[in-house]
Amino acid sequence: MRIIFIILINCFTLVVVYSQQLLLIEQRGIVSIVDADSYYTSGTYLDGKFSFQKKLFIDSTYNSLVGYNWAGDSLVIYLNDNYAGKVKQKKFYIDSDLQKHIQYKVNLKRIEHSRDSVSYETEKIKIHIGKKITCYKDNKLLWVKEKTKNLFNIKIISFGSSLFSPVISNNEKFVLFETNKATHDLIEIEIKTGKERVVFKNLNRYYYSPNDENILIVKKKNYGNDYIIYNRRTKESTKLDDLAKAFWLYR
């Protein structure tokens, strides 16, 4: 579903269209909600811009965006005070027209974890990583994979947390694994068939978009991170220039 805002400016009609690919970003000290699909580059230096941008606030101090949560109809922004060394909060009311189009995120919850294995599940899907990787749907075995086959060498031992947790798409049809290779390959597996493909290399973190069409790739650089939108259908990548932080906006 796409949402259309019509704004009247000096007798001219400006139509702003955005989809459910909403990002919460920090860019040049401005925290905003933007539409990832509206990103484009222009000008001599190819400055990146979003045609839809709802600015929440401008921060001219020493804060940096580190996350968000919801409190009823309000979006709670978490900011790290880099000067004082503590996290503080800001709350913003989000109107119902925008809020009703923000989806809930499906997560693989970790249900078991030992030194040698870890298990995750949703209401329908269960993935167990041990000597082998097994996937079940409604308690029915779908596929089994050797960890050392086809680039798989998943690192799971981290004394309390899994370093390379699988990430599931919101339609629960695909799952992402980061392999423990020097190149840090990101592999996507179709849950129903077990078919796999390498979708990206040299990454840090990765997240499905709300409509599962894109993956937000986070890559470390010398100072901060690079944020990249990978289109799963076209296999094209778009670097979102000049972002200090970016998160998909979910409920």
233: number of Cβ within 10 Å? 7
Higher pLDDT, 30 or 159: 30
Higher pLDDT, 142 or 100: 142
User: 196-210 pLDDT, tens per residue?
Assistant: 888 888 777 899 999
SS3 at position 232? coil
Confidence at residue 89, expressed as pLDDT on a 0 to 100 scale = 93
Q: CA torsion angle for 86, 218, 242, 57 (degrees, to 10)?
A: -40
Please say whether the beta carbons of 148 and 133 come within 8 A. no
Return the residue matching tokens 């259908």: 233
Domain ranges of the chain: 3-99, 109-209
Give the pLDDT mean for 8-19.
Answer: 40
User: 48-104 pLDDT, tens per residue?
Assistant: 788 888 999 887 677 889 999 999 999 999 999 877 778 999 999 999 888 877 999
User: 170-199 pLDDT, tens per residue?
Assistant: 999 999 988 766 667 888 999 999 998 888
Confidence at residue 161, expressed as pLDDT on a 0 to 100 scale = 46
Model confidence, pTM? 0.84
Max avg pLDDT among 84-88, 166-170, 220-224: 166-170
